[in-house]
Every structure is written in C-alpha cells, then in structure tokens.
Structure 1
C-alpha cells in the first residue's frame, strides 16, 4: 500500500480536485495522510502558496497535482498509475467534473484556530 501525504488547508478546492484525481488514477490501495498547514507557521512558509502538495515516502513532492497530466506522470514514475483510467480520462469518457461534484462533506464551520488561505 502506497503511503502519501497531502499538504492542504481547509476550503482548498484545488486540494479537493487533486483528491478526486488521485482516487480516479491511482492503481491499487493507498493511504493519504492530510496535513493542515494553517496551524503551523513553518508549514505555512513552506507550502502556503504551493498547496496542494503531494509527497511520497521518499519525500518527492508534486506541486500542482490537480493538473491531470502532472499527477498521471508522477504516479506512473512510481508504478501506481491506473493506465486504463488515465486513457479513459484522456478520451473524455470519465467526466471529471461529475466526479468533482460528488459530495465531500466539509465542516459547516471552521474549528477554532483554523483559517482559510486566500
């Protein structure tokens, strides 16, 4: 099982898009650890303008993984790309917008101390 870390923040629509793409394109099982950057000044300085950032166990980072080609290439390099799903997505047979519309339950209010990045 592949272990991945996603540096993210509450309300990040690009992070949500990356998660949808990852679900669609990853071949096999994976564990995704989400790290909230807004609660840590060091993480804010490192990732604040770069999120979402996907990281593997070798600490290889992927910026802009919400772009399908970038994510597909990154997964392929790790032997984790579902080639059939990627082909279908490229041919337009999988409607990514429909996938993005799946309900992702976000908290109705922000927990104390969290902030949105804008």
Structure 2
C-alpha cells in the first residue's frame, strides 16, 4: 500500500487528473489523504499557487504531478512505478494507442482509495 498526501482545494481539475494518473501508474494500491488548503491560511500561503502537490511519507513533495513525465520520474525514484502502465500511457500520449478508461476512486472508512 502506497500512502500519499494530496494538497488540494475543492473543484481542482488538475487534482482529478493527478489522481487518475496515480491510479494508472502505481504498481500497488494508493491511499490518498486529501488536505483542503483553503481552510488554513498557512497552507494557502504555501500551496495556493502550487496545487496539486503530492507528498510522500518523508515529506518529499511533487508540484505539477498532473504532468505525466514529472509523475513518472517521482514514482520511479521511489520504486512505485508500474513500468508497463507507463509504456502504455506514453504510447497513448503519443497517439499510438487508444486511451484507456480510468477506474474510479472508492471511499472506505473515510479514506479515499484509487483504483
């Protein structure tokens, strides 16, 4: 199980894109803790123009994770990348394969699980 934190705000379409990419590219299930930044002035000052920001358990952050290549590199550095899924996505982005339909996230016990 991969546990990550997503700094976000309500209606963030880039955050939705990031979640869809995580579902596809991680080799293991992802538990995503969403942190709403609009309810905290300190978080707004830190993340307001950077969201979505993804953070791992050590606090290492990724800005603009909705950009597939940035997310690929970040996940690969942590050993979490599904290489076959990345190759397929890269082919889709290049127009060489039909896009895959993303699996929705589920909510269990107040936690959001991707894929």
Q: TM-score interval w.r.t. the shorter chain?
A: 0.7 to 0.9
TM-score by length of 2: 0.82
Q: Distance in 2 between matches of 1:35 and 1:90?
A: 29
Structure 1: gaps (5+ residues): 105-118
Structure 2: gaps (5+ residues): 106-115
Asked if structure 1 preserves the Cα contact closer than 8 Å seen for 2:23 and 2:30, the reply is no
Alignment of 1:22-101 (within 5 A): 22-92=22-92, 93=97, 95=99, 98-99=101-102
Residue number in structure 2 paired with 1:114: none
Residue number in structure 2 paired with 1:110: none
By how many angstroms is 1:20 displaced?
0.4
Alignment of 1:96-111 (within 5 A): 98-99=101-102
Larger CA deviation: 54-63 vs 21-30 = 21-30
TM-score by length of 1: 0.80
Aligned residues: 101
Q: Whose strand proportion is higher, 1 or 2?
A: 2
For the aligned residues, what is the CA RMSD? Answer: 1.7
| Runs of 4+ in structure 1 over 4 Å off | none
